[in-house]
Amino acid sequence: MVLIMVTGLVSGATDARAAAGDFRLNAGEELVAGQSLVSLDGLQTLSMQTDGNLVLYGDAGSRWQTATNGRGGARLALQTDGNLVLYDANNYPLWYTNTRGSGADHLDVQSDGNLVLYTAASGVVWQTNTRYQPASLNAPADLRAGEVLMSPSGQYTLAMQTDGNLVLYGPSGWTWQTNTRGSGAVRLAVQTDGNMVLYTASDYPAWIAGTRGSGLNQLKLQDDGNLVGYRPDGSWAWQTYTYPGGSAPTPTPPPPPAASKAEIAIAYARQQIGKPYLWGGVGPNAFDCSGLTQQSWAAAGVRIARVSRDQYNTLRHVPYAQAAPGDILAYATNTSAPSTIYHVALYIGNGQMIEAPSEGKPVRLTSVRATRLMPYVGRPTA
């Protein structure tokens, strides 16, 4: 079987020593150990190394490789059958593009960082997909679904995925993400107010960095793998802490709401128990879920947003395990996507809450339901 495979891969090729140092390898030519191809701008080099590894280098280091080191004497052949094959000293194929019969005519090392196998008519047969992408976004700017940021070395990529998730990838896989898959997010906006927000097609926020007013005006993906939001003076306002050895500091929980305010809000909510549910109701005779929570805190002199999703998105987030009386519980069809929140309730402590449930069910005191409960609560502050 091996002999058949080798016979299928081997095709007539001539020594490409005369082409070494050029940006192109033509069909029928070889790149032997110690030779290189260089892009027209001189910044990209495809090196057939003496250790057997084929490596594409940029100005900041390695960007792609065949990982065939340890097999000295290797050579790269662009065969006349269209296949690009890396052979060892015994003519055994170590790596190949599997493009036999494709009509591939030449391999180019491009100034944009990509290594591409073309037909004579300039059709793309195979590529390394290492074309340089922008490394930063300057406010106001969007990173839209299907677009990426790439570190200057090409080792790290921030992808705004079509599934709604924003993911930072490194050589070994993802290192950070917003956990917004399925949220409907279609763009990351770096805003002039200093905030970074993932928006859905209807401009609903699916994720918020919480940096409004910070002065952040640039999001930059660095060669150390860290994604950093910078101010104009060069100081950082936000980061993923994904540099080697980095770890996000344990956040200090915000102080609990002022006891007197929370007690007033809870006392108001208790007084509404038994009153009917009314969609859009804000009292005094009937309430919907967010109308009850809004008016309860209004009684304590604290203004919060009117509707459930806005309440959750605009209040400080505290893990449910640290919930305190007066906090606002939120329920969603997808607890990883705030855009799917459909209900809120007022937490009163001891695993209990007061809520305006739904049509036909009056305001009531009940146990906290764990099903579809968001992992964070919203905390109003005076």
Question: Tokens at residue 79, please?
Answer: 């065969």
As annotated, the active-site residues are 289, 343, 355
Backbone angles phi, psi at 341, to 5 degrees: -65, 135
CA dist 300 and 317 (Å) reads 20
What is the 8-class DSSP label of residue 358? B
What is the 8-class DSSP label of residue 81? T
Backbone angles phi, psi at 292, to 5 degrees: -65, -45
Residue 190 contacts residue 138 (beta carbons within 8 Å):
yes
- Best CA proximity match to 30, nearest among 69, 77, 74, 89: 77
Name residues whose C-beta falls within 8 Å of residue 173's C-beta, 6 or more positions apart in sequence: none
Question: Tokens at residue 28, please?
Answer: 């029928």
Residues 48-57: contacts with CB within 8 Å, 24+ apart? 48/74, 48/75, 48/76, 52/88, 52/94, 54/86, 54/95, 56/109, 56/115, 56/128, 56/130
Q: How far is CA 155 from the centre of its chain?
A: 15
Provide the residue type at 77 as one letter. Answer: A
List helix spans (H) across the chain.
2-9, 259-271, 289-299, 308-314
Residue 208 contacts residue 193 (beta carbons within 8 Å):
no
Cβ atoms within 10 A of the Cβ of 63, count?
Answer: 23
CA dist 206 and 378 (Å) reads 16
CA dist 359 and 357 (Å) reads 7
